[in-house]
């Protein structure tokens, strides 16, 4: 196991802080979106007093697969289509 340089230690410390800030930003984004969604209610466009649109909601569709259900109902299909990938995840223990 290599001994990290001070540069790498500083980078890990800064990365940890960036991740913390990013989490705070995501929470704040969710809070702000809730204010807008609550104001719009069922409408999809919010207007300024002048009548110009300032926000709008687009409906997007997404398909997902219920993996546990697929594996339980069709184990042979699941095994045939399942792919496993390995990724590297950087964990910081400071």
| Residue 83 structure tokens | 């792919």
CA dist list (Å): 58 to 43, 44, 45, 79, 80 = 11, 7, 9, 36, 36
pLDDT at 23: 97
Cβ atoms within 10 A of the Cβ of 53, count? 10
Q: Which residue has the tokens 């790498």?
A: 8
pLDDT at 47: 85
Please answer whether residues 40 and 55 qualify as being in contact, where contact means their C-beta atoms are separated by less than 8 angstroms: yes
The per-residue pLDDT for range 30-85, each reduced to its tens digit, is: 999 999 999 988 888 888 888 888 898 888 999 999 999 999 999 999 999 999 99
As beta bridge partners, residue 45 has 56
The phi, psi pair for 80, rounded to 5°, reads: -70, -30
């Amino acid at each position: 196991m290599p001994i990290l340089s001070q540069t790498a230690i500083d980078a890990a410390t800064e990365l940890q802080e960036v991740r913390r800030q990013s989490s705070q930003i995501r929470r704040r984004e969710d809070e702000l979106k809730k204010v807008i969604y609550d104001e719009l209610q069922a409408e999809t466009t919010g207007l300024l007093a002048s009548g110009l649109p300032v926000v709008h909601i687009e409906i997007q569709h997404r398909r997902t697969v219920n993996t546990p259900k697929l594996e339980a109902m069709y184990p042979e299909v699941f095994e045939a289509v399942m792919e496993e990938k390995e990724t590297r995840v950087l964990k910081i223990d400071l």
